[in-house]
Structure 1
Amino acid sequence: MGHIQRTASSYASYPQATADLWPSEDLALSAMRDWLEAVRQGEDPLVRLGRLMAGPGIPDAALSVDHLLRVIARTARWRVDIRCARCPYLSRDEQRLLCAAALAQAGQPMRARVTLQSGLLRRQGAEFALASLEGLGRLMRSAGLILPRRFAGQGVAQPAWL
């Protein structure tokens, strides 16, 4: 008899501490946290994101992050837990978003969409967010920033190209 594996397990193996993230994950997480901080301070988040993404040579990634988070802000099923830049721990929502980004970068858009829909976003929101995640993934890959796919129970990350 077969069984259904819950999507939540696909990001359950993400580290709890930001110090345990790969540099590519840290950049994506910093972008999300910086975007939220800019919005809270009444600033244009694209200015802050542009500076952050210019470092690795992908300033256009700021547009993908901005669009992604605007879609999430409008279509989330609950208040999404994106923490401040200084928080040393990841929220479950941040883990879910990193997982979806890694899946999108790895060419697995259906799994990325299902991860977003696993409680976080409605179907239409997940579809709109997916385009931004795929764009972000392509830009990060062009800069050599590979997001690892993490699997529950393995305790290790697998580069997205495997």
Structure 2
Amino acid sequence: MTTRGLPTWPWSGAAPEDLPPAESVLLDAARGWVEATREGRPPLPALRLPLATEGIEAAAPVLEAVLRGLACPGSMGCRLCPRLTPAESALLMGLALAQRATRREALAGFLRLAPPAAAYSALGPALTVGLMLRRAGLLLANPLRTES
């Protein structure tokens, strides 16, 4: 499957503080998970803490399944990185597409991070994360919306 033709994520290379709330909490959670993984600490508590600030800590195990499935901690930034990495942009875009249940496009986004088997394994949990965020009132930006 090709990843050509996917839109550019609106916040590629953006500063974390410039992100909307939904993207910001996911970035904080992912970066916490990555940091804990790199340091050999249990990653789930680090992932859960930012999600708890928005009342969606129940999404932590499912988001962890996405991150484990993609196995991309080496390409993610640290908590203090001043800009989003390309991997973080691809992760957020994949999650945004999954929230809209556009499976094919979400899979293509995840293929930017991982080989096909890993990207497929992350897709189911990503759809669940998207649903959990939507139920909590957190909508990720729609990367398929064209700006006029």
Task: Measure the CA separation in 1 of the matches of 2:109 and 2:38.
Answer: 27
The structure in which a higher percent of residues are helix is 2
The answer to whether structure 1 residue 95 and structure 2 residue 89 are counterparts is yes
Q: Which runs of 4+ in 1 moved over 3 A?
A: 151-154
* Structure 1 residues 59 and 13: alpha-carbon distance in aligned structure 2, compared to 1, 3 A threshold: closer
One-letter amino acid of the structure 2 residue matched with residue 25 of structure 1: E
Q: TM-score, normalised by structure 1?
A: 0.80
What are the ranges of 5 or more consecutive residues in structure 1 without an aligned counterpart?
157-162
Which residue of 2 is the match for residue 141 of structure 1? 134
Q: Which letter does structure 2 place at the counterpart of 1:132?
A: P
**Higher Rg:** 1
How far the C-alpha of 1:51 sits from its partner, in A, is: 2.4
CA shift for structure 1 position 152: 9.0
Q: What does residue range 53-132 of structure 1 map to in structure 2 within 5 Å?
A: 53-73=51-71, 80-117=74-111, 119-132=112-125
* Residue matched to 1:20: 18
Q: Deviations over 1:27-63 (max 9, x none)?
A: 1111110001111222111112222222211111110
Q: Which residue number in structure 2 is paired with residue 10 of structure 1? A: 7
Q: Is the 8 A contact 1:99 1:115 kept in 2?
A: yes
Distance 1:41 1:80 in 2: 12
Q: 1:5 to 1:86 in 2, by over 3 A?
A: closer
**Residue type of the partner of 1:137?**
G
Residue identity (%): 32
Shift of the alpha carbon at 1:19?
2.3
- The match for 1:160 is none
Q: Report the RMSD for the aligned CA atoms in angstroms.
A: 2.3
